[in-house]
């Protein structure tokens, strides 16, 4: 039996880059990247080629038969498209083509926090439309969610030591800061995928692959312990939790009036994530199991993930990869 042939959409993004690295490291996959015609000459695509990735031209909005041809001989498709509505919906034609091409497993864009299928996060609802389309096609699939990234889960320090890499997203503590939420090193995603996509137990299932579960207060404690700095704790939505719902409603109204403008959709995505993992507490293994996910802890008890403390030490020590971890486009 030859190597398993995997096609990745969005190989030049954060998640896609992790997947490319994880699969190549593992060694038993032939990796192809589906790249839009307009991007085919970009330096980043050249970098993929030098890594040993086969680059195939494919336009998700182009004719179906061309997409089917681009998937010729492919065993597994992994879709790491972006958060926009257009990119999420493009997966419909990708799934149709995968069905015709005889793809044996389709991994649609999940790679997010655990959340209910509808009613809390618009991004999750967009994904649900794709999942339901896959089910209508009777296309073999695996949905993989990975929680929140290490890379955006820690706050800045008063000394400014981590400003070279911190995004500022964790500078607010949601509610009382005591809601457990699952976090994962972005760089481990691909290593999880290398196991998941060849695992018969995960066929037609949802998988929650995460490294550890922590509250925001625990993360702040750990940062203080490693850095020997005292952190200010900026509690948001603590007194009246309902204000987060107002914030989400405001963002929904702005986003509805301009559904393709990232300056309105991005605040909505952030506000809804904060509501889901920070207040409701959706992003944890118990709720995931209730929703039907298998978890990486049960499937791969021996998986060696990067401990969050080790990651934070590299960040505070100034040796982290910075904001441009992995490949960018």
- Using CB under 8 A as the criterion, which residues of the chain lie in contact with a second copy when the complex forms? 116-120, 128-129, 132-133, 135-136, 138, 140, 204-205, 287, 290-292
Residues 325, 186 contacting (CB under 8 angstroms): yes
* Count of residues in the chain: 329
Q: Closest approach of Cβ 118 to a second copy, in Å?
A: 4
If residue 217 lies in a helix (H) or strand (E), which one and from where to where?
helix 216-227
Q: Any catalytic annotation for residue 205? A: no
Q: How far apart are CA 259 and CA 256, in angstroms?
A: 5
Q: Closest approach of Cβ 131 to a second copy, in Å?
A: 8
Left if phi > 0, otherwise alpha if psi is -120 to 50, otherwise beta: which for 119?
left
Q: Closest approach of Cβ 291 to a second copy, in Å?
A: 6
Q: How many CA atoms lie within 13 Å of 318's alpha carbon, on the beta-carbon side?
A: 3
Tokens 């005591």 correspond to 178
Catalytic residue among 42, 85, 99, 127: 127
Closer by beta carbon to a second copy, 113 or else 153: 113
Closer by beta carbon to a second copy, 7 or else 121: 121
Tokens 């550890």 correspond to 212
Q: Closest approach of Cβ 133 to a second copy, in Å?
A: 7
Closer by beta carbon to a second copy, 168 or else 292: 292
Closer by beta carbon to a second copy, 137 or else 236: 137
Q: How many angstroms separate the Cα of 191 from the Cα of each of 146, 213, 300, 304, 305?
A: 12, 19, 11, 10, 9
Catalytically active residues, by annotation: 127
């Amino acid at each position: 039996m030859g190597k398993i042939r995997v096609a990745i959409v969005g190989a030049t993004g954060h998640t896609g880059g992790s997947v490319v690295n994880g699969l190549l490291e593992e060694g038993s996959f032939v990796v192809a990247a589906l790249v839009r015609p307009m991007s085919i000459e970009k330096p980043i695509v050249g970098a993929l080629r030098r890594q040993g990735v086969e680059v195939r031209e494919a336009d998700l909005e182009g004719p179906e038969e061309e997409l089917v041809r681009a998937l010729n001989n492919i065993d597994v498709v992994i879709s790491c498209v972006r958060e926009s509505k257009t990119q999420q919906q493009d997966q419909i034609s990708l799934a149709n083509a995968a069905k015709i091409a005889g793809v044996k497993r389709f991994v649609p864009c999940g790679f997010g926090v655990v959340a209910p299928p509808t009613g809390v996060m618009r991004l999750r609802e967009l994904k649900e439309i794709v999942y339901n389309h896959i089910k209508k096609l009777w296309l073999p699939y695996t949905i993989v969610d990975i929680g929140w990234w290490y890379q955006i889960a820690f706050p800045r320090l008063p000394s400014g030591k981590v400003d070279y890499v911190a995004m500022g997203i964790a500078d607010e503590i949601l509610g009382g800061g005591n809601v457990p939420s699952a976090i994962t090193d972005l760089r481990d995603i691909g290593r999880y995928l290398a196991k998941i996509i060849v695992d018969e137990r995960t066929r037609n299932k949802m998988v929650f692959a995460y490294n550890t579960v922590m509250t925001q207060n625990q993360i702040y404690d750990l940062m203080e312990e490693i850095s020997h700095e005292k952190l200010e704790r900026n509690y948001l939505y603590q007194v009246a939790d309902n204000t987060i719902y107002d914030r989400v409603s405001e963002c929904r109204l702005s986003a509805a009036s301009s559904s393709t403008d990232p300056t309105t959709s991005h605040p909505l995505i952030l506000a809804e994530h904060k509501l889901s993992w920070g207040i409701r507490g959706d992003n944890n293994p118990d709720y995931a199991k209730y929703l039907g996910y298998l978890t990486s802890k049960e499937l791969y008890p021996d998986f060696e993930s990067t401990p969050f403390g080790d990651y934070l030490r590299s960040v505070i020590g100034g040796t982290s990869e910075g904001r441009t971890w992995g490949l960018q486009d």
